[in-house]
Amino acid sequence: MTPLTHLIAQSIWRLPETLSKDQRYLYASLIVLGAFVLVLGLIPVLQTLPPRGRRAVIVTVTFLAGLFFAAEFFLPVDWRSIFPKDDPTRNFLTPAIQPAQNVLQIIGALALGLGTYGLVRLHLRNVVQKRTQWGYSVVLLVAFVTMATFSIWNTLAEKELVKKTPFVERGFSILFDFTLVQLDAAMFSLIAFYIFSAAYRAFRIRSVEASILMFTAMVVMIGVVPLGAYISYTLLGLPQGPAPADADLWTRILHSAGLPTIANWVLTTLNAPVQRAIEFGVGIGGLAMAIRLWLSLERGVT
Amino acid sequence: MQPQTIWQRMLSIDRRLLYLLLFVNIVAFLVAPIRMTASISPPVQKFYDEIEKLKPGDLVMISSNWSASTLAENQPQLEAVLNHLMRKGVRFTFISIEAQSRDISYRLAERVTSAAGYKYGEQWAHFGFVPNLTVAIKGMVNDLPSTIKQDVRGTPIEKLPVLHGVKSLRDYQMVIDVTPSNTVPVWISYSPKELRILYCPTSVMAAEAYTYLDSGQIKGMITGAKGAQEYEQLLGIRGLGAPFANAISFSHVLIIIFILLGNFAMLMQRRYERREV
Amino acid sequence: MTYQHAQDNWFAAFVIGFIALAVLINILRARVGAQLYIRRIPGLDAIDEAIGRSTELGRPVTMIPGLTSFGVVAVQALTIFKYITQQIARFATPMRLLTGDPTVFAVAQEAIYDAYNEAGRPDLYDADNIRFLSDRQFAFASGVAGLIQRERVAASFMFGEFFAESLIFAETGNMVGAIQIAGTTSFTQVPFFVAACDYTIIGDEFYATSAYLSREPVLLGSLVGQDIAKLFFALTAVGGAIIASIAGTDAPIIKLLGQPGGWDAFFGGGK
């Protein structure tokens, strides 16, 4: 007997393996074209619907899409009692997860085009109308066009669709490796400076709670770095490094008083449970929101 | 206008002065020949012990998702871990979630492995990048070759000797996630239960991982550059971790000094105001 | 066995079902008129104060969902931004919504348009005020920081999922003297927001925001359901700790709660 999931996967979610490469390309192109025509045809139909009808369509599509993912998760995977040769690690919806995710990525890519169009349109207008600080818009547009040109050219060259010239290679390297990557690193390193000024301003002993927070932060900051260990063990008269396995009770007590041990205790015994509690709350909140969206009970932006 | 007291001036210090001091401090201690012995933290020790348990020929997946911005923390971690893996003679494959991380991890791995005589394709490989980690993990659990298809050099996965007989992520023994992003919960949620997960986050992300360490969902963790220094110490090698951790140590000290100075100035100003009243 | 399906751990599936039921029953209760209470959240009371200050100064308000990709967090963030837009529409205060995710950008345009419409000021809507800057983390961060500096914003609202760029936004806002309110589900970014912002909304307070602002029965009921679920989690944790202390961590009941295939010990599954 043909396994159930294999049968469905082959006949519904994938083109049959028996087809030749050309046939597969042909069928795939027809499917893409068909989907395109279907979507284009649906747009005018949806526009003729009254608002209530449109809402009904949205509610139905949202519910069905959510139902697909929920059913894939909740349906049992092991069907071997009925189909002994079946794959016990997936149900018949599992093979459709990948195509569904691909659809989501395609929607994301379309939105990226929309976003980029909006950005370019805004800055072109800034330049054409010479709005305030339009010079920045020129910089953005020049950077955008240059990076896009070299990036696309380089990708085509890598795929051997166009000839790879030293000019493209060098140009892309200057823009990507020596500009973008370095700018990324510079922006990230700004955080170190900002945390310094923010900490200087914020850590003040204005109340009992603020004082506890400040002293705990200082203990952890110094306790987690080698200098904290060095200072602690020197002051406690201990050799550097962790307590030896055969250390006596007094040495163990002294080690427990060291900053690294205290910092680790704060991180694992105080920080972790608090965080777990917050994460439970966030997880439950997210799940509740997802249920409201799925059942179209959420009126915010839908 | 009443002239400002010295305490008021201290409280409203020009932030550019703070930035300059921090910059000088970082540069000075990055190049200073000071080497302090690190105290090995329990998560790093656990990480080391887990890799020690691997046998030659075992297969490890390295999920490398960092790029230039977090190089200072993730590069020393990855270099130290690769050194340990090669010392144990295990096979490893890389996977990334975006192009820049793919390029950086591939170049770094090429450099480190060729120095140790590790052969690409036979002992290690790079799968390139996948746009959606969740989908990729689910796909690799079901059927690894058809999910990945080809490696970063365009070679079909089936033709790589390092993956001989590998059908699924279940054939791996371990995952090591080197990342500044929140990718480790995805590995925990979707990878096979038997797969041991080790984690190399940036310092800021480490706080979030202690819950997973407690529950055993992560078997060990190297926290940022200072964790890398501890790991280098365990391996007995000299890498980038030590100077980076040095700069971090003394930056923490500088910040603490200024927090104390700020509080001192605030208290003195209050006292001054009370006396004025 | 993997954690990919409900069958891998039926207990997890049961918990999801329980939370869903608790939420739905309480939504129903709220709909039929049950009076539900929600505590004060100071950060949200300050939204009107921040808008008032922007109006007085005639400087823009920024709304930043960060790099949040489209999902429940983004929808919640946009719901909050829609409320803020409805408030600022009354005073014609300028606004900028800056996002790093193109799908969020597309939805934000619709949401903000709706907000102006519902406030009776569709003339104030300008598509250029909702901007997609870049999906690269630090290109986006520099874009936001530059805009905050150049336009010297008077109020900055940051709601959503944030990563390392959070402090760049918050500290830049602080430099220009903006009132800043942040709300995030990203635990690691909370300390940065607390240090640099005027008000910070932590954890599931983020999801309570729309209920707090709108007082809609559906949202309030959902919130009560969430609290019941949290109580259940707390009881499970305490109960689990007691049982594990007495019977050990290998006890079948502990495995049932904490491991895939934990039911096998009870139902004789042999995988």
Assess contact for C31 and C164: CB atoms under 8 A: no
Query: Strand pairing of C179-184 and C155-161?
Result: parallel
Residue type, B115: A
Query: Strand pairing of B124-129 and B174-179?
Result: unpaired
pLDDT in tens for each of the 277 residues of chain B? 566 889 999 988 999 999 999 999 999 999 988 878 888 889 999 999 999 999 999 999 999 999 888 888 999 999 999 999 999 999 999 999 988 899 899 999 999 999 999 999 999 999 999 888 888 898 898 889 988 989 998 899 999 999 998 999 999 999 999 999 889 999 998 888 889 999 999 988 898 899 899 888 999 999 999 999 999 999 999 888 888 888 999 999 999 999 999 999 999 999 999 988 7
3-state secondary structure of C64: strand
For residue A84, pLDDT over 90 is answered with no
For residue A52, pLDDT over 70 is answered with yes
C-alpha pair distances (Å), B199 with each of A32, A225, A274, B47, B182:
41, 19, 21, 8, 11
3-state secondary structure of B96: strand
A86 φψ region: left (φ > 0), alpha (ψ -120 to 50), beta (else): beta
Domain over C42-214 is classified CATH 1.10.3470? no
- Domain borders along chain C are 6-37+218-267, 42-214
Taking the C-alpha atoms of residue B196 and residue B177, their distance in angstroms, rounded to an integer, is 11
For residue A13, pLDDT over 60 is answered with no
Assess contact for C163 and B205: CB atoms under 8 A: no
Which of C163, C222, C157, C151 minimizes the C-alpha distance to C183? C157
Provide the angle, in degrees to the nearest 10, between the axes of the packed helices A134-158 and A97-128: 140
Assess contact for B192 and C2: CB atoms under 8 A: yes
Inter-chain residue contact C226 with A115, CB threshold 8 Å: no
Say if C35 is an interface residue toward chain B (CB within 8 Å).
Answer: no
Residues 217-236 of C with CB under 8 A from A: 218-219, 222-223, 225-226, 229-230, 233
Work out how many CB contacts closer than 8 A connect A with C.
Answer: 187
Q: What is the token pair recorded at C231?
A: 């109580």
Taking the C-alpha atoms of residue C202 and residue A33, their distance in angstroms, rounded to an integer, is 47
- CB-based contacts of C52, cutoff 8 Å, min separation 6: none
Q: What is the pLDDT of residues B121-156, one digit of tens each?
A: 999 999 999 888 888 898 898 889 988 989 998 899
Which of A197, A205, B24 minimizes the C-alpha distance to C167? A197
Inter-chain residue contact A196 with B255, CB threshold 8 Å: yes
Counting as contact any 3 or more CB pairs under 8 A, the partners of B are: A, C
Instruction: Tell me the CATH number of domain B42-239, given options 1.10.357.10, 3.40.50.300, 3.40.50.720, 3.40.50.2300.
Output: 3.40.50.720
Q: What is the token pair recorded at A178?
A: 């020596």
C-alpha pair distances (Å), A229 with each of A235, B7, C269:
10, 33, 50
A300 vs A298 pLDDT, higher one: A298
């427990």: which residue's tokens? Answer: A256
3-state secondary structure of C161: strand
pLDDT, residue C270, reads 41
- CB-based contacts of C267, cutoff 8 Å, min separation 6: none
Assess contact for C229 and C24: CB atoms under 8 A: no
C-alpha pair distances (Å), A194 with each of A103, B61, C13, C59:
40, 36, 44, 24
Give bridge partners of residue B177 from the DSSP assignment: B63, B199
Residues 181-220 of C with CB under 8 A from B: 186-188
Taking the C-alpha atoms of residue C95 and residue C58, their distance in angstroms, rounded to an integer, is 11
Say if C137 is an interface residue toward chain B (CB within 8 Å).
Answer: yes
Query: Strand runs (DSSP E) across chain B, as ranges?
Result: 59-64, 91-96, 124-129, 174-179, 196-201, 220-221
Count the helices and strands in chain A (H runs, E runs).
Answer: 12, 0
pLDDT, residue C1, reads 46
C187 → closest Cβ in B181, B192, B208: B208
Which of A75, B191, B136 minimizes the C-alpha distance to C2? B191
**DSSP H stretches of helix in A204-301:** 208-223, 226-235, 249-256, 259-265, 272-294
A20 φψ region: left (φ > 0), alpha (ψ -120 to 50), beta (else): beta
Taking the C-alpha atoms of residue C73 and residue C104, their distance in angstroms, rounded to an integer, is 10
What's the distance, Cα to Cα, between the start and end of chain B in Å?
18
Assess contact for C219 and C196: CB atoms under 8 A: no
Taking the C-alpha atoms of residue A217 and residue A214, their distance in angstroms, rounded to an integer, is 5
* Cβ atoms within 10 Å, residue C220: 23
C-alpha pair distances (Å), A192 with each of B11, B247, C192:
20, 12, 11
- Domain borders along chain A are 4-131, 134-202, 203-294
Residue type, B233: Q
Which of B108-112's residues contact partners 24+ apart within 8 Å by CB, and which partners? B108/B75, B108/B78, B108/B79, B109/B82, B112/B79, B112/B82, B112/B83, B112/B86
Q: What is the pLDDT of residues A245-271, one digit of tens each?
A: 777 888 888 888 889 889 989 988 998
Q: What is the pLDDT of residues B29-44, one digit of tens each?
A: 999 888 788 888 899 9
Percent of chain A residues past pLDDT 90, beyond the cut: 35
Question: Would you say the C-alpha torsion A123, A124, A126, A127 has a positive or negative sign?
Answer: positive
For residue A15, pLDDT over 80 is answered with no
C138 → closest Cβ in B69, B141, B208: B69
For residue A162, pLDDT over 50 is answered with yes
pLDDT, residue A302, reads 63
Predicted-complex ipTM score: 0.89
pLDDT, residue A148, reads 93
3-state secondary structure of C140: helix
Say if B190 is an interface residue toward chain C (CB within 8 Å).
Answer: yes
CA-angle at B120, arms to B116 and B122, nearest 5° = 100
With the CA atoms of B138, B142, B144 and B146 taken in that order, what torsion angle do they form, in degrees rounded to the nearest 10? -100
Assess contact for A198 and C195: CB atoms under 8 A: yes
Say if A238 is an interface residue toward chain B (CB within 8 Å).
Answer: no
Give the DSSP per-residue string, C253-268: HHHHHHSTTTTHHHH-
pLDDT in tens for each of the 271 residues of chain C? 456 788 777 777 888 999 999 999 999 999 888 888 888 888 888 999 999 999 999 999 999 998 888 889 999 999 999 999 999 999 999 999 999 999 999 999 999 999 999 999 999 999 999 999 998 889 999 999 999 999 999 999 999 999 889 999 999 999 999 999 999 998 889 999 999 999 999 988 999 998 888 888 889 999 999 999 999 999 988 998 899 899 887 887 777 766 656 666 555 544 4
C4 → closest Cβ in B69, B141, B208: B141
Nearest residue in B to C172, CA atom:
B15
Residues of A in contact with C195 (CB under 8 A): 195, 198-199, 201-203
Query: Strand pairing of C95-99 and B59-64?
Result: unpaired
